[in-house]
Amino acid sequence: MRHVQGRARRAGAALAAVLTWAGLLAGAAGCTSDATGGLGRSRAPEEVIRVSPDDGSRGVSPEKPLRVGVPSGRLESVKVVKSQDAQETPVPGRISDDGLRWEPDDRQLALAARYTVDVVALDGHGRRSARHTTFTTYVPEERFIGYVSPENRSTVGTGMIVSLEFNREIENRAAVERAVHVTARPAVEIRPHWFGKGRLDFRPERYWKPGTQVTVSLQLRDVEGAPGVYGLQYKTFSFTVGRHQVSTVDAAEHTMDVRRDGELLATVPITAGAPKTTTYNGKMVVTEMLEVTRMNGATVGFTDNDGKGEYDIPDVPHAMRLTDSGTFLHGNYWAPDAFGKANVSHGCVGLRDVQGGGSDTPAGWFFDRSLIGDVVEVVNSKDKQVAPDNGLGGWNMDWETWKAGSAVE
């Protein structure tokens, strides 16, 4: 299955002993080719949970109100985060006494910011649903900015790639590249690579060493990125590389080996993409972690004859994004016979879980021991290799090809 909407959480945990999975596997479920799994069709998330500004909006006016509401039932939780210059800030607000509305304490949106809204609500029938939306606010026409990941002061996995996504096409890529400096302690060679005119990524030749301190300096202010369009940012931020965890999904064997710092922690039964909806091969990096999310096939092209999603599951637990196109590794409670035996998903990697998400299930165990920046590598799938610009897929590009993507000679 490939993605849609949810409630976000970043996770990390200390090293755990190798687990015996027999006790964890009883009584849960997994991903089927009919991903509704007998749950029936749910109302579309935008019908259950209404968010303004609309999902994916760009250039939103700071005067536009930020609102969350439900027509019936009640809001269970609302989390809004503002991101500027790789710094995340929670947006305070309150749910109304009747549970139908949420509004921020500060009615003014910030300029040149990205907002993320995560909502969980109960509809009028008591059914839980989740929605995850994002929008960006107005940047003055003569200015450009880069939205940066990872976040300032974060701790990430060794596969993290520094990525800048610009709000406007960059014509003078060499000038912009020269104004971005990525350094590490201990020192390692770090090189840039452009994907088109709107994205600039940085990485070393091999995964970062655990404990590395990485500093990113954006000296973009007044740099002309395109005719008459100048940079706005002059900012330095840093992040720390945590322990080294790489998980290998063998689509043919229906297993995932989880290794940390070279030690095998566990071999977990999985289900991957079905023969007609296979999972990409290659190295993928966790870029987002959602405790619960909604997944609707219509958002990624899986529709029936009526144009409705082939699946629509409102409460997929323990979901970790691997690609921009919608590949996730997630908990699955609706197909109990697939794990370790068959590949039946729409392209995602499924781990056994329970509805609502269990901490003592394989999916919960893995989620609690994962970081943004961890690597998940899929092998032996009957699909192509994931594209280097689909998520943080740059590790699938050899070093010479990566270096050739610089605009500076």
pLDDT in tens, 239-250: 999 999 999 999
> Which SS3 state, helix, strand or coil, does residue 152 take?
coil
pLDDT in tens, 371-402: 999 999 999 999 999 999 999 999 999 999 99
330 part of the active site: yes
> Alpha-carbon distance 78 to 94, whole Å?
9
Structural domains of the chain, with CATH: 5-40+244-394 (2.40.440.10), 143-243+398-403 (2.60.40.3710)
310 CA to centre of own chain: 22
132 part of the active site: no
Q: Which residues contact residue 121 at a Cβ distance below 8 angstroms, ignoring those fewer than 6 apart? A: 48, 49, 70, 73, 74, 75, 76, 128, 129, 130, 131
From 244, 318, 330, 346, the catalytic residue: 330
Which residues are bridge partners to 258 per DSSP? 247, 266
Q: Which helix (H) or strand (E) holds 190?
A: strand 190-195
Tell me, letter by letter, the H, E, C secondary structure of 109-136. Answer: CCCCCEEEEEEEEECCCCCEEEEEEEEE
| Radius of gyration of the chain measured on its C-alpha atoms | 21
> Alpha-carbon distance 357 to 360, whole Å?
9
From 3, 31, 244, 348, the catalytic residue: 348
How do the pLDDT tens digits run along the chain, 409 residues long? Answer: 544 444 344 333 333 333 333 333 333 333 333 333 333 345 565 678 999 999 999 999 988 999 999 999 999 999 999 998 888 899 999 999 999 999 999 888 998 999 999 999 998 888 888 999 999 999 988 999 999 999 999 999 999 999 999 999 999 999 999 999 999 999 999 999 999 999 999 999 999 999 999 999 999 999 999 999 999 999 999 999 999 999 999 999 999 999 999 999 999 999 999 999 999 999 999 999 999 998 875 556 555 666 655 658 888 999 999 999 999 999 999 988 999 999 999 899 999 999 989 899 999 999 999 999 999 999 999 999 999 999 999 999 999 999 999 999 8
> Which SS3 state, helix, strand or coil, does residue 22 take?
helix
